[in-house]
Structure 1
Amino acid sequence: MPAHQLAPDITDDPARILAAEREHLAISRTALRAMREHAQSLSSDAAGDWVSQQILQALLDQRVAALADHSGTPLFFGRLDRQAGDDLPGTVYVGRRHVHDDRSRPLVIDWRAPVSRAFYQASPSDPMRVVLRRRFGYQGGDLTAYEDERLDQGGAALAQSRILTEEIERPRSGPMRDIVATIQPDQDEIVRSELGRTVCVQGAPGTGKTAVGLHRAAYLLFTHRERLARSGVMIVGPNRAFLSYISSVLPALGEVKVDQTTVAGILGDHSAPEDPAVGTLKGDARIVGVLRRALWAHVVKPTEGVLFTKGINRYRVADHEVREIVASLRGTTRYGPGRATLAQRLAHLVLVRMEQRGESPDDRVQDAVARSKPVRQLVDTVWPKLTPQQVLHRLFSDPAFLAAAAKDDLTAAEQSLLLWPKPPKSFRSAKWSAADGALMDELGDMIERTVPLGHLVVDEAQDLSAMQLRALGRRCRTGSATVLGDLAQGTTPWSARSWGEVLSHLGFEDGAVTELTLGFRVPREVLDYAARLLPSVAPDLAAPRSLRPGAGSLSVRPVPDLATALAHAAREALAREGSIGVIVPDALVGAASEALSDLDHRVLSPDTVEDHRLLVIPATLAKGLEYDHVIVAEPADIVDAEPRGLARLYVVLTRAVTSLTVLHARELPAQLSG
């Protein structure tokens, strides 16, 4: 009898059990292949018109992509043997996606299904109807081992799952993997949070906060498929290299239609250099009032009315009537719709004049009047059409205009910081900075409403300015968000000091903040070493803890010649299994690459992630990335390179999954000494 129909007795021969589970795996893979072939056989020709055919074909293509079987990835990773007494199967295999046979009988249950929750949450104290939990070990896509845990006999939980530990510690190369087989109970609680709830995760290094955010997106798409298919889900990461690193997680879980972008991808890839003090001021929430006043200052007091001529008839709207309309609209609507409403209100008064003369105009006449030259000329004079760039150009070029818009929100010194020393001739020739992108987005929303999404996942949120957070918040103003980050890893001049502050700027003051302090990725010896920096960078945070002792995982070496030491350490790492990240101060990237010229390596750039075993990584790009073996060069230079250099060093020191080697020709920062 096939394994999916009969649960092997737990006292049975281990070889027989393993053979039966392998048989179930083979049956499941065959069934998944049949499901995909069926999806490929479907045709969009049944749809009526060409547009419907294109929409249906896109949906079919997504379905086919979601049913892909990744040969090196386990199709299922766990199994539950359940008590009888409900309508659910007695034996449930938990995997990355649902698989059924030709009779629609479930062979694998999606990890996001309600019944699968017990795989992550059941315990001897609360077995959740589970008698036996089984975990499977794999090499590539081949099932090689299993591990059982009885949950129906009370007593203590399994002290440590060998299979779970091996999966966590498995050497990695290339993009980030999903953690669906290793999700812990506290992580699972976050993943399964309701769609309407905004969740903020303060996660220490190695706690899996990024993976939790991605898995929550996958869970919400599974649970609220129809709703989120309409409104959309977006992942926002710190840079394109990071997005490339996480790009395979959601597709591996069967989710292929999720936008992944950066803040620059949303606000525009503006890269004009700017003094950090100016960028910090532009990122301050006080700028919102300045922008609002600057925009509405362009609406001027009408000095004349409207004269509309139709044939021999003339219809006049007096200037005082125009002023009343403008006064009633100003500040009560967005700028763009206000222009359109002004034209319609003027046209309506013209129609009133027509009716007073016995005419019977209809809506078509009103629309024609609203588009007429006299009305358009008055609207353009009183309520001119504007772009965000025009408003900013005037604001940063005209001291008197800036002073009027700033009022008491900005000091005279702050206003002088914002003014361009040499203003460009027009907004078209202006060079905009990254901070300007957030200001233009704010103005854009004041002019026309930003279309919101259903759910937004924001990673490394502690590094975003108030204005960048506002830009993201309005994109999910009618939805919810998953906010991820670590206050200790804040490296921008405007980094947040509290999650309450971040949630407030996003517009989710009632969001729930939860903290992950138990690490699974970074060895304890490495994490404890990096935590020496915490009192200096985030004194209010609890020190992170690691489940993995990692004895011998840390090596700190003073060296006389950095280049020679780098090459030697890289050769040592290459003799071991796993990926290698050589993280250096940005200014030393070229020198480090030259030192490794005899070794096959690549240099990580801001726009791409190289799927290469040995990488040279600028310190400013290391955030969010992980490598089995990390070599850090010259910590003191990393600290000296920027105002929040200690926080940057904390990030760099916590990228290692197996070993960390620190090389320094200079004295170490005082926090790491001793």
Structure 2
Amino acid sequence: MDTKTQSAYQEELQRLEQTNTEIDKQLARLRSTPVYYGPDLTEQALEVARENGRHNLTKAIDEPYFGRLDFQENGMAEANPLYIGKSGVEDERNGQLLVIDWRAPVASLFYSFTGGLDAASYDSPDGLIEGLVYLKRNLVVRKQILQRVVDTYDRTEDSLSVGDEFLLYRLGENKDNKLRDIVSTIQAEQDRIIRAAKNTALIIQGVAGSGKTTVALHRLAFLLYQYREQVRAERMIIFAPNSMFLDYISGVLPELGVGNIQQSTFTDWALDVLDHEVTMADQALTLQTWFSLGSKRPPVDDHAPGRFKGSMAFKIYLDDCLTKFEASYVPTADFSPWDGAKLPIASIREWFFVENKHYPLVKRRERVVARIKRWMDMQLDKIWEQSKKKELKKKSSQKLRTYLTSWPEHSAFTFYKVLFSDKGRPDSLPADLLAQIPASIITASLKNFKKKEVQLEDLAPLLYIHTRLYGIPSDRLFDHVVIDEAQDFSPFQVAVLDSYTRNSSFTILGDLSQGIHAYQGISDWKEFASLFSEDATAYFELERSYRSTMEIIQFANTVLQRGVENPLLAVPVFRSGNKVHVLQTDLKGRLPLLQRAIATLKQGSSSTIAVVARTEKHALELHEALTEAGIETNLITSKQRVYRGGISVLPIYLTKGLEFDAVLLMDVTAGHYETTLMDAKLLYVGCTRALHELWLMAPGELSPLVSIEDQEIVTTQAPA
């Protein structure tokens, strides 16, 4: 350690001791103060403040900060050292901030400053603040111990470029079985997304490993800090591709001090809104079929069920149906509960179409029926003879029940079902509308509907009908929505979610190059952008990949280039590693070679290893074979809800969003991965899950998507 580095270390060690002492003192005082449980509102408010203090200081005690920025604001005599951490800490003696919360406006300088002698600036509540940055320093503190001090910018040095040493140090760390926060290494392009205005539909195209998911989670934490008077955590939601992925990301928000944010899959949320009136058809069977077809897979076009039912054209069709249904919803005849009493249909229509027009259909029906009953009671009140009154009351109740049979009660599912069949179809829904739906979709839908089962693509239409019939309760509205792996969502899904979201406040993120569910997803982000007003939409691209080594990214990019026209290629950070291994063998040598590969990776530094098969069926076979060989592995299927780490065996489509120290891609042969758009995207997804080691096994002719130039090739035959 040179003299300059030693001096910086001692300086930071002294500052850390002072900060730790102050945190310990404040925390001890707060913990010794009895918790208030009484009715006094002032004391309740003070207790909330004390509890927040206990929470923030407890979070800060082991790692109070991770960065330092020396900033001289214009008009000030000298630079002020600002320490940035996950929680703000104030010095009680003088009210000065010992640690600044990473979400505070001034902390944005730590992320946005990229070096140079020019002035730096940040937006504050008082306007634009400008000044000069003299020092940017990254710090690693663990359990109150200072472990690392790295200056990434020093104005007094000859070199004025911000280095990547600290970033590379953090990227080189091995992962456990959870996604972690990146608050100490947020990059400038990521910070711009995190701090974007709330009432905006952000659409983020990010290459594999660009930190899309983590950025979205940090954005939630920022919005809760910046707009604390406008948003609540329990009114935010993250939509993830599957339940296991939710478990994988579950540690990030607590690390950032954020709780109570809803996390769900679109399927689970939709079924809950629909009060579980329907169940899902076997999605595992659908996925198994889709990913095993290869080149035999039918082309995806607008007549594919997922594309058709997920389109805005289908929403327009449903609008037409619902509008026609509403127009003829009310009975056409006067209501007469007994001879001599008549409620004109004109009055009923006035109540329905004018007085209650702002209510949804079902609520309108309920209010009008209640109004009819009140009218009947008023008519009965005019009759003084009790025996006659009793007789007419009974008769009128029966008459009303008969009258209401011409006024059908529909749920979302019963209405949706009749759209696909001529039987029981209301006269208000002419048969020519049915002709707009492809015959194959009608047949498949009716088969599922008999068992009250639906496919994923049915959920958005059902939710839309549900909102038209029942409306949206205020407690179901969201303040902000995050959609992860959004390229697999349909425009109709996003449009429905928009109706449940205040001010179109969205963070929509994904990667078109990883769009492996083409039968339901999108091919262009404009399909989502068109759903929102232009002035309330922002589009960002994240091109840098921080996950994998240069060798892995370059290899994966070649896969894309060989199967995808004009692909969105990742730009790796300068983190070099081992070459990609390509293991060529025959079928007999496949399992022994896999066992040796796993043993080699375990002997190295890989703590999380993924053995990736083409389909779920293949993954099951591999899991059984490895278990019989005495290798402990965790099988991951589409129904999995927990990610356990260690050695995982899983189909390639379920790897999306996850990352592992090492990835072993099985059966990368010409028969499994052909030069098709879908196979290229699948293989790209599999390759880009690896942080440090990527090994491919080919028991046969190697896939034409793979380039073996400059790669380490191991050719093994089965033992004699």
Q: Same fold per TM (> 0.5)?
A: yes
The correspondence for 1:271, drawn from 280, 284, 297, is: 280
Q: Is residue 563 from structure 1 mapped to residue 588 from structure 2 by the alignment?
A: no
The residue correspondences of 1:208-607 to structure 2 (distance < 5 A) are 208-229=211-232, 232-268=235-271, 270-273=279-282, 277-295=304-322, 297=325, 299-300=328-329, 302-307=331-336, 316-323=342-349, 334-343=360-369, 373=397, 377=401, 380-398=404-422, 401=425, 405=429, 411=435, 414-419=438-443, 429-450=451-472, 451-492=476-517, 493-505=519-531, 510-535=536-561, 538-560=564-586, 561-578=589-606, 579-585=608-614, 586-597=616-627, 598-605=630-637, 606-607=639-640
Work out whether residues 138 and 145 of structure 1, in 8 Å CA contact, stay in contact via their aligned partners in 2: yes
Q: Is residue 46 from structure 1 mapped to residue 39 from structure 2 by the alignment?
A: yes
Relative to structure 1, the CA distance from residue 230 to residue 201 in structure 2 (aligned partners, 3 Å threshold; closer, same or farther) is closer
Letter in 1 for 2:205: Q
Work out whether residues 533 and 672 of structure 1, in 8 Å CA contact, stay in contact via their aligned partners in 2: yes
Work out whether residues 199 and 536 of structure 2, in 8 Å CA contact, stay in contact via their aligned partners in 1: no
Q: Aligned pair count?
A: 642
Relative to structure 1, the CA distance from residue 628 to residue 24 in structure 2 (aligned partners, 3 Å threshold; closer, same or farther) is farther
Work out whether residues 239 and 266 of structure 2, in 8 Å CA contact, stay in contact via their aligned partners in 1: yes
Shift of 1:217: 0.8
For structure 1, which runs of at least 5 residues remain unmatched after alignment?
1-8, 358-368
When the two chains are superposed, the root-mean-square deviation of aligned CA atoms in Å is 4.0
Letter in 2 for 1:623: K
Work out whether residues 330 and 407 of structure 2, in 8 Å CA contact, stay in contact via their aligned partners in 1: no
Range that drifts further, 455-464 or 645-654? 645-654
SS at match of 1:76: coil
Distance 1:150 1:423 in 2: 65
Q: Deviations over 1:580-609 (max 9, x none)?
A: 222222222123223433233322244323
Relative to structure 1, the CA distance from residue 90 to residue 673 in structure 2 (aligned partners, 3 Å threshold; closer, same or farther) is closer
Shift of 1:291: 3.2
Range that drifts further, 223-232 or 83-92? 83-92
Work out whether residues 290 and 405 of structure 1, in 8 Å CA contact, stay in contact via their aligned partners in 2: no
What TM-score comes out, normalization by structure 1 length?
0.83
Shift of 1:442: 1.3
Work out whether residues 95 and 108 of structure 1, in 8 Å CA contact, stay in contact via their aligned partners in 2: yes
Distance 2:340 2:370 in 1: 18
Range that drifts further, 91-100 or 456-465? 91-100
Distance 2:597 2:156 in 1: 50
The residue correspondences of 1:151-230 to structure 2 (distance < 5 A) are 152=155, 157-229=160-232
Distance 2:605 2:563 in 1: 33
Distance 1:326 1:580 in 2: 62
Relative to structure 1, the CA distance from residue 326 to residue 666 in structure 2 (aligned partners, 3 Å threshold; closer, same or farther) is farther
The residue correspondences of 1:17-28 to structure 2 (distance < 5 A) are 17-24=11-18, 26-27=20-21
Name the residue aligned to 1:76.
Answer: 65
Letter in 1 for 2:477: P
Work out whether residues 35 and 47 of structure 2, in 8 Å CA contact, stay in contact via their aligned partners in 1: no
Distance 2:488 2:147 in 1: 43
Shift of 1:642: 11
Work out whether residues 168 and 520 of structure 1, in 8 Å CA contact, stay in contact via their aligned partners in 2: yes
Relative to structure 1, the CA distance from residue 509 to residue 342 in structure 2 (aligned partners, 3 Å threshold; closer, same or farther) is farther
What TM-score comes out, normalization by structure 2 length?
0.78
Name the residue aligned to 2:665.
Answer: 632
Work out whether residues 241 and 607 of structure 1, in 8 Å CA contact, stay in contact via their aligned partners in 2: yes
Distance 2:78 2:362 in 1: 55
Identity %: 25
Work out whether residues 526 and 653 of structure 1, in 8 Å CA contact, stay in contact via their aligned partners in 2: yes
Shift of 1:286: 2.7
Relative to structure 1, the CA distance from residue 214 to residue 157 in structure 2 (aligned partners, 3 Å threshold; closer, same or farther) is farther
Distance 1:562 1:406 in 2: 60
Shift of 1:433: 2.6
Distance 2:78 2:430 in 1: 64
Distance 1:321 1:642 in 2: 64
Letter in 1 for 2:191: D
SS at match of 2:231: helix
Work out whether residues 582 and 695 of structure 2, in 8 Å CA contact, stay in contact via their aligned partners in 1: yes
SS at match of 2:110: helix
Q: Is residue 91 from structure 1 mapped to residue 81 from structure 2 by the alignment?
A: yes
Name the residue aligned to 1:655.
Answer: 689
For structure 2, which runs of at least 5 residues remain unmatched after alignment?
122-130, 273-278, 291-303, 383-392, 709-720
Letter in 2 for 1:254: G
